[in-house]
A and B are shown apart, each in its own frame.
Chain A
């Protein structure tokens, strides 16, 4: 199996079945470093299954996944995290009883310690380096105002930023964002994505993000993958993918957003 040298992530012929249900099939994608890839498709089209296979949360039934020219197919998710693939969640996964700073610092401390039982016991959580890293990431995501606020009292948008910040504080090279704007009001979506994307650009992180809002996809993605029925039906620049007739026919919301002024064919 060959992987091109410039690809940070390469998946070949990926398939996932649950009994007789085929959740994903024939997925072959290669992503160059620092690209921002939007992933679109209806619910149940296989987007989250695809993400979960990359993060090791699901083991593929067939195919292989390569990260930085190392095969990671079927490795446990914790090991994959330590290799440099991180993810955020559709519903922000944070520690509600800790403050923003404490959330960020524990994430930074974990990323800095060697892992394993001894590493976790012998690394102090108050280390200067973890604190510096946590403060820098809080600044990067522009949530300094909430530094000492308990996470259970944060507005929705800040929770999202904290969630993504915690995924970034350990300097991953690849970040998977599962619907970063879900649960965010329409007015706030663009501001949120501006903050997130410029933060990720600063850290030169390759991004795959699942998104339902086509305006967001068109604006922030360098490239768009369209999923339908468990497989990729279109792969290209935002314009190419969103203008693809099959995508327009099969994925709701695409025509609506992109064909304004151009009445679609019935």
Chain B
């Protein structure tokens, strides 16, 4: 099952990569942003499986983005591969620290504490005039191992980079889900006492989840910063976190792939709604969320399970 899923996922990434030159520019940039954000959503899925919702995942997104922008600005270093790693590591280190505090909380306290931490970063960035305050600042044009592509070629290169990072991230999260630590998500949601009595520290398992989600958030932020070419404090604002939670609900926690599909659907609906009714686009998004909760409470991913069941019933 896991093997087949991974093969299908890998083929989908290859297909998306191969199709790139045929796609119009706006599609390439939309998918790049959607797939950068999908990593943050994947992190939320890791937490959600254990019954935890973070309303502050934008913290790691923003740290990843600023780590990239600041490294390029202060050191003049612009290699994308190194920058993306720096973004992920910076956010991961912050998650290690925060995890010591956060792993002891559950439910609304976990959600609100993460929200508060992300808003602290927002406040600090807004007050930092050297970093452009609320305007933020632009990210230096990146290079790929010495190669410096221009406008259109850059967009394509970043698209491929994002697909590559996503594929690796999705594969590793898939492996994690099949490990004891990953499989303990539902048991922790169900009954922490029993998990402890089986000889496992629930706190340390949740700490790991916070760190994984943090690294994924940082990678997503790093890729988004490169793709947008600009960072600003809004990347840490609570509405950004809310957007990620929105996509997580849309996607559901059943499948790794759902995070990517969900994120793509979200970006597509958002830009469509923005085009068609610029005044009411939030209402469209709200309606989509409402319909999801009413008819697909387990998210888009549950469609796969539903189809599978129907297929089995027929055969």
Identify the A interface with B (CB < 8 A): 55, 77-78, 81-82, 86-87, 89, 93-98, 106-107, 109-111, 113, 115, 117, 119-126, 166-167, 170
Q: Is the CB of A120 within 8 A of B197?
A: no
Q: Is the CB of A106 within 8 A of B187?
A: yes
Chain B 174-201 residues near chain A, CB threshold 8 A = 176, 178-184, 186-187, 189-191, 193-194, 196-201
Q: Is the CB of B190 within 8 A of A110?
A: no
Q: Report chain A residues within 8 Å CB of B197.
A: 55, 77, 81, 86-87, 93, 167
Q: Is the CB of A122 within 8 A of B193?
A: no
A95: contacting residue among B187, B196, B204, CB under 8 A: B187
Q: Report chain B residues within 8 Å CB of A97.
A: 186, 189-190
How far is it, in angstroms, between the C-alpha of A78 and the C-alpha of B196 when the chains are bound?
7
B108 CB to closest chain A CB, in angstroms? 21
Identify the B interface with A (CB < 8 A): 2, 176, 178-184, 186-187, 189-191, 193-194, 196-201, 204-205, 208
Whether A106 touches B189, Cβ cut-off 8 Å, given contacts A82-B199, A117-B208, A124-B178, is no
Q: Is the CB of B179 within 8 A of A78?
A: no
How far is it, in angstroms, between the C-alpha of A106 and the C-alpha of B186 when the chains are bound?
10
How far is it, in angstroms, between the C-alpha of A82 and the C-alpha of B196 when the chains are bound?
11
Q: Is the CB of A95 within 8 A of B186?
A: yes
How far is it, in angstroms, between the C-alpha of A55 and the C-alpha of B181 when the chains are bound?
23
How far is it, in angstroms, between the C-alpha of A78 and the C-alpha of B208 when the chains are bound?
18
How far is it, in angstroms, between the C-alpha of A96 and the C-alpha of B191 when the chains are bound?
8
Interface centre among B2, B190, B196, B201 (most CB of A within 10 A): B190
B125 CB to closest chain A CB, in angstroms? 32
B178: contacting residue among A98, A111, A125, CB under 8 A: A125
Q: Is the CB of A117 within 8 A of B180?
A: no
Task: Other than A97-B189, A110-B184, A120-B208, give 7 A-B pairs with Cβ distance below 8 A.
Answer: A78-B200, A78-B201, A93-B191, A109-B183, A111-B199, A120-B180, A123-B180
Q: Report chain A residues within 8 Å CB of B196.
A: 77-78
Q: Report chain B residues within 8 Å CB of A111.
A: 198-199
B183: contacting residue among A55, A125, A170, CB under 8 A: A125
How far is it, in angstroms, between the C-alpha of A81 and the C-alpha of B194 when the chains are bound?
12
Q: Is the CB of B200 within 8 A of A94?
A: no
Whether A110 touches B199, Cβ cut-off 8 Å, given contacts A95-B187, A98-B186, A123-B179, is yes
How far is it, in angstroms, between the C-alpha of A164 and the C-alpha of B77 when the chains are bound?
59
B40 CB to closest chain A CB, in angstroms? 21
How far is it, in angstroms, between the C-alpha of A125 and the C-alpha of B198 when the chains are bound?
14
- 9 A-B residue contacts at CB 8 Å? A94-B191, A95-B186, A97-B189, A98-B186, A117-B181, A124-B178, A124-B179, A166-B194, A166-B198
